Amino acid sequence: MAWQPHITVATIVEDNGRFLMVEEHKAGRNVLNQPAGHLDPDETLIEAAIRETLEETGWDVEPSAVIGIYLYTAPSNGVTYQRVCFSANPLKHHPDRRLDDGIVGAKWLTRDELLEQREHWRSDLIIRCIDDYLAGNRFGLELIRPSL
Protein backbone atom coordinates (compact mmCIF):
# COMPACT_ATOMS: atom_id res chain seq x y z
CA MET A 1 0.00 0.00 0.00
CA ALA A 2 1.44 3.38 -1.03
CA TRP A 3 1.66 6.13 1.57
CA GLN A 4 -0.15 9.23 0.38
CA PRO A 5 -0.52 12.44 2.38
CA HIS A 6 -3.76 14.40 2.14
CA ILE A 7 -3.40 18.01 0.97
CA THR A 8 -5.58 20.40 2.97
CA VAL A 9 -6.04 24.12 3.42
CA ALA A 10 -7.14 26.15 6.42
CA THR A 11 -7.96 29.80 6.87
CA ILE A 12 -7.29 32.10 9.82
CA VAL A 13 -9.89 34.88 9.70
CA GLU A 14 -9.49 37.39 12.52
CA ASP A 15 -11.71 40.31 13.43
CA ASN A 16 -10.96 42.40 16.52
CA GLY A 17 -9.26 39.56 18.39
CA ARG A 18 -11.83 36.93 17.49
CA PHE A 19 -11.21 34.07 15.09
CA LEU A 20 -13.73 32.55 12.70
CA MET A 21 -14.14 28.93 13.74
CA VAL A 22 -16.22 26.04 12.49
CA GLU A 23 -18.17 23.73 14.74
CA GLU A 24 -18.64 20.42 12.97
CA HIS A 25 -19.96 16.99 13.82
CA LYS A 26 -17.16 14.43 13.47
CA ALA A 27 -16.92 10.88 14.81
CA GLY A 28 -20.01 11.24 16.97
CA ARG A 29 -19.13 14.55 18.64
CA ASN A 30 -18.96 18.26 17.89
CA VAL A 31 -15.47 19.62 17.33
CA LEU A 32 -13.92 23.01 16.55
CA ASN A 33 -11.63 23.73 13.64
CA GLN A 34 -10.62 26.57 11.40
CA PRO A 35 -12.47 26.67 8.09
CA ALA A 36 -10.54 23.88 6.39
CA GLY A 37 -10.77 21.06 3.91
CA HIS A 38 -9.21 19.09 1.12
CA LEU A 39 -7.84 20.43 -2.13
CA ASP A 40 -10.14 19.51 -5.03
CA PRO A 41 -8.92 18.48 -8.51
CA ASP A 42 -8.05 21.38 -10.84
CA GLU A 43 -8.12 23.88 -7.96
CA THR A 44 -5.36 26.09 -6.62
CA LEU A 45 -4.59 26.15 -2.91
CA ILE A 46 -5.86 29.73 -2.69
CA GLU A 47 -9.10 28.82 -4.48
CA ALA A 48 -9.54 25.90 -2.07
CA ALA A 49 -9.12 28.17 0.96
CA ILE A 50 -11.72 30.62 -0.38
CA ARG A 51 -14.16 27.82 -1.27
CA GLU A 52 -13.81 25.91 2.01
CA THR A 53 -14.29 29.05 4.08
CA LEU A 54 -17.47 29.95 2.19
CA GLU A 55 -18.86 26.40 2.28
CA GLU A 56 -18.22 25.96 6.01
CA THR A 57 -18.98 29.46 7.37
CA GLY A 58 -20.96 31.42 4.79
CA TRP A 59 -18.19 34.04 4.63
CA ASP A 60 -16.50 35.38 1.50
CA VAL A 61 -12.85 36.01 2.32
CA GLU A 62 -9.77 37.41 0.63
CA PRO A 63 -6.56 35.50 1.43
CA SER A 64 -3.75 37.86 2.37
CA ALA A 65 -0.79 35.65 3.35
CA VAL A 66 0.45 32.15 4.05
CA ILE A 67 0.82 31.51 7.78
CA GLY A 68 2.59 28.18 7.48
CA ILE A 69 2.72 24.69 6.03
CA TYR A 70 2.16 21.91 8.54
CA LEU A 71 2.39 18.12 8.61
CA TYR A 72 0.03 16.36 10.97
CA THR A 73 -0.62 12.66 11.44
CA ALA A 74 -4.02 12.09 12.99
CA PRO A 75 -3.79 9.67 15.91
CA SER A 76 -7.37 8.53 15.27
CA ASN A 77 -6.70 7.08 11.80
CA GLY A 78 -2.95 7.39 11.10
CA VAL A 79 -3.57 9.58 8.05
CA THR A 80 -0.97 12.29 7.38
CA TYR A 81 -2.27 15.69 6.36
CA GLN A 82 -0.26 18.52 4.81
CA ARG A 83 -2.05 21.72 5.76
CA VAL A 84 -1.38 25.03 4.05
CA CYS A 85 -2.75 27.69 6.36
CA PHE A 86 -3.70 31.12 5.05
CA SER A 87 -4.72 34.32 6.75
CA ALA A 88 -7.69 36.02 5.12
CA ASN A 89 -9.77 39.14 5.49
CA PRO A 90 -13.53 38.76 5.95
CA LEU A 91 -15.43 40.42 3.11
CA LYS A 92 -19.10 39.50 3.23
CA HIS A 93 -21.30 37.18 5.24
CA HIS A 94 -24.11 35.20 3.62
CA PRO A 95 -26.17 34.25 6.70
CA ASP A 96 -28.80 32.34 4.70
CA ARG A 97 -26.27 30.19 2.82
CA ARG A 98 -26.61 26.45 3.44
CA LEU A 99 -23.40 25.14 5.00
CA ASP A 100 -21.66 21.85 4.21
CA ASP A 101 -23.06 18.62 5.61
CA GLY A 102 -21.79 17.99 9.12
CA ILE A 103 -21.25 21.68 9.85
CA VAL A 104 -23.16 22.78 12.96
CA GLY A 105 -22.26 26.44 12.44
CA ALA A 106 -19.63 29.12 12.48
CA LYS A 107 -18.63 31.10 15.54
CA TRP A 108 -16.17 33.85 16.41
CA LEU A 109 -13.94 32.98 19.38
CA THR A 110 -10.95 34.57 21.06
CA ARG A 111 -7.80 32.58 21.69
CA ASP A 112 -8.70 32.39 25.39
CA GLU A 113 -12.17 31.10 24.58
CA LEU A 114 -10.60 28.43 22.38
CA LEU A 115 -8.23 27.40 25.15
CA GLU A 116 -11.24 26.91 27.45
CA GLN A 117 -12.67 24.46 24.90
CA ARG A 118 -9.55 22.39 24.23
CA GLU A 119 -11.44 19.10 24.62
CA HIS A 120 -13.48 20.11 21.55
CA TRP A 121 -10.56 20.83 19.21
CA ARG A 122 -10.41 18.71 16.09
CA SER A 123 -6.61 18.81 16.42
CA ASP A 124 -3.80 20.78 18.02
CA LEU A 125 -3.21 22.43 14.63
CA ILE A 126 -5.93 24.90 15.62
CA ILE A 127 -3.87 26.65 18.27
CA ARG A 128 -0.58 26.17 16.40
CA CYS A 129 -1.92 28.07 13.38
CA ILE A 130 -3.45 30.81 15.54
CA ASP A 131 -0.26 31.21 17.56
CA ASP A 132 1.83 31.41 14.37
CA TYR A 133 -0.59 34.07 13.09
CA LEU A 134 -0.39 36.02 16.36
CA ALA A 135 3.42 35.75 16.26
CA GLY A 136 3.33 37.64 12.95
CA ASN A 137 4.15 34.78 10.59
CA ARG A 138 3.18 36.06 7.17
CA PHE A 139 4.55 34.79 3.88
CA GLY A 140 3.51 36.36 0.60
CA LEU A 141 0.90 34.60 -1.51
CA GLU A 142 3.51 34.44 -4.27
CA LEU A 143 4.94 31.53 -2.26
CA ILE A 144 2.06 29.50 -3.70
CA ARG A 145 2.96 28.72 -7.28
CA PRO A 146 0.39 27.60 -9.85
CA SER A 147 0.74 24.32 -11.75
CA LEU A 148 2.87 24.38 -14.87
Angle at 129 between CA 123 and CA 132, to 5 degrees: 145
Number of alpha helices (DSSP H) and beta strands (DSSP E) in the chain: 3, 7
pTM: 0.92
- Over residues 119-144, the pLDDT tens digits come to 999 989 999 999 999 999 999 999 99
Predicted confidence (pLDDT) at residue 82 exceeds the cutoff of 80: yes
Q: What is the pLDDT, as a whole number, of residue 1?
A: 63
